[in-house]
Amino acid sequence: MSGREDRCRTLSNGIFVCEQGTGVPLVLLHGFSLDHHMWQYQIEELSAKYRVIAIDVPGFGKSPLKHASITLSEVAGDIMSAIDEMLPQQQCVVMGLSMGGYIAWELLSRYPERFLAAVMCDTRAAADSAEAASVRRQMADRVLQGGTEGVIAPMLYRLLAPKTLEHAPNVVKSMKEMLYATAPLTIAAFQLAMADRHDFHPELSRFTLPTLLIVGMDDVLTPPAEMQRIQESLPDAEIVKIPEAGHMAPLEQPTLVNQAIDEFLSRKLGHLLL
């Protein structure tokens, strides 16, 4: 949030938030091992029309980890308290990328009356397979024993599209700064939490709010086919596939992503944006 850190603060439950703009609130939840800076272009551009609130999930950025055996359900409860403090009695749009999406499904499931619409970027609704969960548990052990480097370095190349890696050194730099800033204890705690997360896929028909799904066409972690499967199960969802973007579509192709979000919200919530 360049030059606007004055709009950042720590809430009473320790969660760190940055906000900019006025209007319908958009609450942004970042992906794993990242922080609110991954939304830098959404904060800068969408704040011209919306009240953009980017949260550091507890354990990441400037929000402390509560304890090592955290669950995504507990994280969602803490984020809802943060939303209550910032937006008492007010509805908002929730937007989550990947792990932020897993947390957003929890919020939508437990507090549906608080949300006007959802934007899910590069994420899944399904839980892990037994094999994927076991890989996460091994990663948790490795990071606690050997530290961050061996676990984080290979991630970068799976998060970004080949074009981004080659031509967008500023994005690569920003990703490295966020990835390497995360403590080993947080990495381990959230790998275990994600391994045990709830399977929302069979329940998608009850998420009736307008939902925009955004996915990078080069996303190898949550590929377009996976997001398409979510769209087919949701009652009111649209999907936008972003060219030359990987798992970090909002950071890799911000102009296309921001246009898609604004076009969708203007159509679905137009009466509130006047």
Task: List residues near ligand MLT by CB under 6 A.
Answer: 31-32, 98-99, 194, 221, 247
Query: Angle CA(266)–CA(269)–CA(270) in degrees, nearest 5?
Result: 55
| Closer residue to ligand MLT (CB): 157 or 236 | 157
Beta carbon of residue 96, minimum distance to ligand MLT (angstroms, whole number): 9
Alpha helices in the chain (DSSP H): 40-46, 72-86, 99-110, 130-146, 149-159, 162-167, 169-181, 184-195, 224-233, 249-252, 254-273
- Given the DSSP bridges, would you call strands 92-97 and 25-29 parallel, antiparallel or unpaired? parallel
Minimum distance from residue 182 beta carbon to ligand MLT (Å) = 11
**132 or 273, CB closer to ligand MLT?**
132
The tokens describing 86, both together, are 């910032």
Q: What is the DSSP letter of 26?
A: E
Q: What are phi and psi of 148, to 5 degrees?
A: -75, -40
Rank residues 31 and 58 by Cβ distance to ligand MLT and give the closer one. 31
Nearest residue (CB) to ligand MLT, 31 versus 59: 31
Backbone φ and ψ of 164, nearest 5°: -65, -45
Q: 7 or 241, CB closer to ligand MLT? A: 241
The smaller minimum CB distance to ligand MLT, of residues 108 and 193, is found at: 193
Kindly give the pairing relationship between strand 211-216 and strand 237-242: parallel
Q: Strand 8-10's sheet: what is its strand order? A: 8-10, 16-20, 51-55, 25-29, 92-97, 115-121, 211-216, 237-242
CB of 71 to ligand MLT, least distance (A): 15
Q: How far apart are CB 105 and ligand MLT at their closest, in Å?
A: 13
Least distance from ligand MLT to the Cβ atom of residue 174, Å: 15
The token pair that represents 118 in the structure block = 């959802």
Task: Between 17 and 194, name the residue whose CB sits nearer to ligand MLT.
Answer: 194
DSSP code string of 230-258 = HHHHSTTEEEEEETT--TTHHHHSHHHHH
Least Å distance, CB 113 to ligand MLT, is: 27
Instruction: Report, in Å, the least distance between residue 142 CB and ligand MLT.
Output: 15
